[in-house]
Structure 1
Amino acid sequence: MKSQKHNDSSQMKEALQHDTQQNPQKEKEKHEKEQHSNDSTNQDSFLPSSSRICSAENVKDGQAECQQKERTSSCCQLKDMRRLQHGDMKLGPLRFDKRHTVLIDVDTFNSQRKILTQKGRDLWHSDFVKMPCSQASMASSLQKDSLIIQEKVAHQKSRWDVISKKLKSLASKKTASVKDVEEAIIKYNPKYKDQWSFDALHTLDQITPHTENYYKTLFPKIAALALKLPSFVNKAIPLLRKGQSAAITMSQVQISCLLANAFFCTFPHRNTSSPNAEYSGYPSINFNSLFGNWSRRKIEKLRAIMHYFKEVTDESTRPKGLVTFERECLSYTDMPTWESCKANLSKLHITSEGQIELEGKGMLQVDFANSLIGGGVLGSGLLQEEILFVINPELIVARLFTEKLEDNECLIITGSQQFSYYSGFGDSFEWAGPYEDQSQRDEWARRKTKILAIDAMNFRHSVDQYRMRHITRELNKAYCGFKGYDGHENPDIATGKWGCGAFNGDPQLKALIQLMAAAKAKRGLAFFTFGDENLKQRLQRIYELMFAEGITVGTLYKLLRDFSPAKHCDSHVDLFDFIEKNRNSKSHL
């Protein structure tokens, strides 16, 4: 299935190209600067490609059923990979406990299959999300005749009163302009009046042909959705903090309401990233950074985001399910002793074509994540993780409550919905129209979609990745995500060149690391090389050799240990060649 044709008009493309061509050097410098900023994330994106899968051959119950196609192979076909759709996992009734917060009424859901808000109370506390509608969120007066902004306690009033007054004014209109949106946001964020720009949002509005421009009628609907926060989210939302395994389940409607507030930049204490800021260890959530410093990238992102809001504000298309966000922390006692691991290699499918989020549907889809979830999705980043978040905007809400991931942690999102097609990546990325997600739902009304966010190491010097402590870190990080935590039979894994590109990872090494972690977790691996035919062929060859000879994870770890000094002595030595030549050495047996 190829991406749907871009329904963009030539008029819009010409406007974008004209603006870029007016100062191409400035545009190039801007992208180069952003490429190296904190917003940058792993480079190897979902490259645009045909969805026709090159099929290897079958593996059944761990034994190769060799067929002849080009040549005999021990790899398996994509259709043989286990997916969530292949079996109905018996989850049992939806339930909450100390580590699982549920924001809907569990009893009503279990008995009537209705989604109602869970009653609760607001908590203005460091362990919980500080909500825009909290009574403790105050708007301070500004002393205009002073260079220093001073808080005047006597003149403080509820910040939500200010927010709701402006949003009610917007929501009451049939149409609202970008200027109206800008004025509303600045009214309750006065400190940033001269700092925040809205030129990307203005440009989107200006270059969109009148017949396609629905934004003016959509802005009031987003404002109305944001205003429902006090009734949609009653229960305090805990922060998913480092060092603690915990989960949050909420409805897709609740997510849309939270994101509507992010659109209108209402979340308090979330507008600075300074090291001593309260939320310095969390990603940004307010959309102000997406609205300013226009670029073609941001225009395309905004088109996808606006389409999402169009869907969730329409009663006929509003999603009616649940989504779970689960932070998992791998304890040090659960970390494998890789050198002595006896696990045999798992089944493997390798292809240079296709996309993780399409051909890998129903599998555990790997998000090549930034340790700050979402990476540069609210900036100019448009690589694998950011694209994933743009076409699945519900993922963005994870930035509200997920602290920076540690080396032994991951985030698993179950049930998110894809809303858009796309083509390209980076500067070539384009929103390619609406996507109708046909994924089935599980017993908890979640889409049968699992996305795993794991962050690879960023190597300034490429040779550092071959140090065994770094290889072990990456093995533990991948295993943390692949392990499976719910006691059910888990789907196989759809992944690719995790941590390569901008993070300087070696695709050969990263492929073997993920193969080892998958074997330990007893899960198959579908590896997408994103157009890299050479890697596909070489990985297939080395896998066949190791599989045929029964090389275990522990043996492979020892081979990597021996490769490390060899690579430091000669940077040109090839990992796959080294394994092929040394795989029968007695020191590895």
Structure 2
Amino acid sequence: MLRQNQSHAITMSQEQIACLLANAFFCTFPHRNTTQPGSEYSNFPTINFSSLLSNVSPRTVQKLKAIFYYFNTVTEEATKPKGLVTFERICLSPSEFPNWSKQKENMTNLHVYLNGFIEKEGQGMLQVDFASKMIGGGVLNQGLVQEEIRFIQCPELIVARLFTEKLGDNECLKITGAQVYSNTTGYSDSFQCNSPHTDSTQRDEWKRRYCQIVAIDAIKFDDPRQQYSEKNIKRELLKAYVGFKGDPQIPTDYTPAIATGNWGCGAFKGDPMLKALIQMMAAAVAQRDLAYFTFGNKKQAEDLKRTYKLLKSHKVTVGKLYNLLLDYCKHQHHHHHVKSVSDYISENMGVHSSQL
């Protein structure tokens, strides 16, 4: 089991995963049908498919199509995958936490993409899963946003729910080697599973697909104003950093860029610019470049490019940006008509946004 407060990895064959998921589909895992407080697995996600199968809806139909495409592929002798998948829980100790106000790193490279998808255009990069604390979120229920869609396209990810305890603030889950089994379009109610997918991604020396996903869970804010506090900014920085931090045995020159986007926004009510800056800071300390996908939001793409250009041209360090964000939090709490975080940064660096 990948339990809290322990860095540990589990590697399984794709055949073993298929066997476990077949059991999950037929709801054969005992003691996993309740998540009531005090129950044996209350701190783990559900794994049996009972909640999905008992809730018939258009979303369920599309999810089950993808699941059946997966089972068709893994049970046919000609298409049965013969590789491995690694699930690694990474837990940082307090001695490894950055001292954000004193970090001297400058921003690393940022490439902003108006169009494209993390899982497609981000191939070969570390791909961010905008996760729930309970890995997979609502994949076995009615959830159909970024994390659930990824788990439906790559059902081998679902098996992580069997053995991954709820993520703590200083933890992430990295999955290496997951395979894509279906082609999908849309999001939420517009989601469609269209056809089976033949994954031709090369394999590494462990026979894992060259695909690495990192699950990091953002805070879900009831009131968006809650995010403008030192405590919550530090928490999100730590969560992004634990996800972005590379293997210390691999030189940074050989560490791939990170493919990400509006992590913790949407239903979680995060400020997209604040979340982008937090990810840029974490990537800078981890010494990794960022590919940022705005999913068709042209204004956001332009704002992000402009703000990044300003930070780079002024050689703003992570520590300086952190302190600017804390000043912005104070500004937020003392003014009714608040300016955006990007406007605040540019004005406090002596540059009006119209000059950028």
Q: What TM-score results when the alignment is normalised by the length of structure 1?
A: 0.58
State the SS of the aligned residue for 1:306: helix
**Is the contact between residue 327 and residue 409 of structure 1 (CA under 8 Å) also seen in structure 2?**
yes
Cα offset, 1:291, TM superposition: 0.5
Letter matched to residue 309 of structure 1: F
2:329 paired residue number: 564
Distance 2:22 2:333 in 1: 51
Cα offset, 1:485, TM superposition: 2.6
Specify whether residues 395 and 273 from structure 1 end up closer, same or farther in structure 2 by C-alpha distance, changes over 3 A only. same
State the SS of the aligned residue for 1:244: coil
- Which structure 2 residues correspond to residues 206-245 of structure 1 after superposition, within 5 A? 239-245=1-7
Distance 1:578 1:440 in 2: 45
Cα offset, 1:567, TM superposition: 1.1
State the SS of the aligned residue for 2:90: strand
State the SS of the aligned residue for 1:497: coil
1:510 paired residue number: 275
- Which structure 2 residues correspond to residues 147-546 of structure 1 after superposition, within 5 A? 239-485=1-247, 487-488=249-250, 489-546=254-311
2:346 paired residue number: 580
Report the RMSD for the aligned CA atoms in angstroms: 1.0
Letter matched to residue 576 of structure 1: S
Q: How big is each residue's C-alpha offset from its partner over 1:115-168, in whole Å with a ceiling of 9 and x where there is no partner?
A: xxxxxxxxxxxxxxxxxxxxxxxxxxxxxxxxxxxxxxxxxxxxxxxxxxxxxx
Distance 2:123 2:349 in 1: 35
Letter matched to residue 542 of structure 1: T
Distance 1:577 1:345 in 2: 19
Letter matched to residue 311 of structure 2: M
Larger deviation, residues 270-279 vs 402-411: 270-279
Letter matched to residue 269 of structure 2: N
Distance 2:343 2:221 in 1: 23
Letter matched to residue 115 of structure 2: E
State the SS of the aligned residue for 2:95: helix
Larger deviation, residues 486-495 vs 436-445: 486-495
Distance 1:293 1:444 in 2: 39
1:126 paired residue number: none
State the SS of the aligned residue for 1:301: helix
Letter matched to residue 530 of structure 1: F
CA radius of gyration, larger in: 1
| 5+ residue gaps, structure 1 | 1-238
Distance 1:300 1:486 in 2: 41
Specify whether residues 252 and 516 from structure 1 end up closer, same or farther in structure 2 by C-alpha distance, changes over 3 A only. same
**Is the contact between residue 323 and residue 413 of structure 1 (CA under 8 Å) also seen in structure 2?**
yes
Distance 1:323 1:584 in 2: 50
Letter matched to residue 528 of structure 1: F
Distance 2:344 2:82 in 1: 53
Specify whether residues 584 and 558 from structure 1 end up closer, same or farther in structure 2 by C-alpha distance, changes over 3 A only. farther
Cα offset, 1:276, TM superposition: 1.5
**Is the contact between residue 559 and residue 583 of structure 1 (CA under 8 Å) also seen in structure 2?**
no
Q: How big is each residue's C-alpha offset from its partner over 1:35-81, in whole Å with a ceiling of 9 and x where there is no partner?
A: xxxxxxxxxxxxxxxxxxxxxxxxxxxxxxxxxxxxxxxxxxxxxxx
- Which structure 2 residues correspond to residues 27-38 of structure 1 after superposition, within 5 A? none
**Is the contact between residue 454 and residue 477 of structure 1 (CA under 8 Å) also seen in structure 2?**
yes
Distance 2:265 2:55 in 1: 28
Distance 2:340 2:236 in 1: 20
Letter matched to residue 360 of structure 1: G
Letter matched to residue 276 of structure 1: G
Distance 1:293 1:265 in 2: 15
Distance 1:582 1:414 in 2: 42
Distance 1:584 1:352 in 2: 28
Cα offset, 1:307, TM superposition: 0.6
State the SS of the aligned residue for 2:292: strand
Q: What TM-score results when the alignment is normalised by the length of structure 2?
A: 0.96
- Which structure 2 residues correspond to residues 99-118 of structure 1 after superposition, within 5 A? none
Cα offset, 1:365, TM superposition: 0.4
Distance 2:27 2:42 in 1: 17
Distance 1:517 1:283 in 2: 28
State the SS of the aligned residue for 1:262: helix
Cα offset, 1:584, TM superposition: 5.4
Distance 1:300 1:248 in 2: 30
- Which structure 2 residues correspond to residues 11-50 of structure 1 after superposition, within 5 A? none
Distance 1:421 1:358 in 2: 11
Letter matched to residue 144 of structure 2: L
Distance 2:164 2:38 in 1: 18
Which structure 1 residue ranges, 4+ long, deviate > 3 Å from structure 2?
A: none
Q: How big is each residue's C-alpha offset from its partner over 1:534-586, in whole Å with a ceiling of 9 and x where there is no partner?
A: 0100010010011011111111001001100101123532100000011259x
Letter matched to residue 79 of structure 2: T
Q: Does 1:547 align with 2:312?
A: yes
Cα offset, 1:486, TM superposition: 5.4
State the SS of the aligned residue for 1:254: helix
Identity %: 57
Distance 1:396 1:374 in 2: 7
Question: How many residues align structurally?
Answer: 347
2:354 paired residue number: none
State the SS of the aligned residue for 2:143: coil
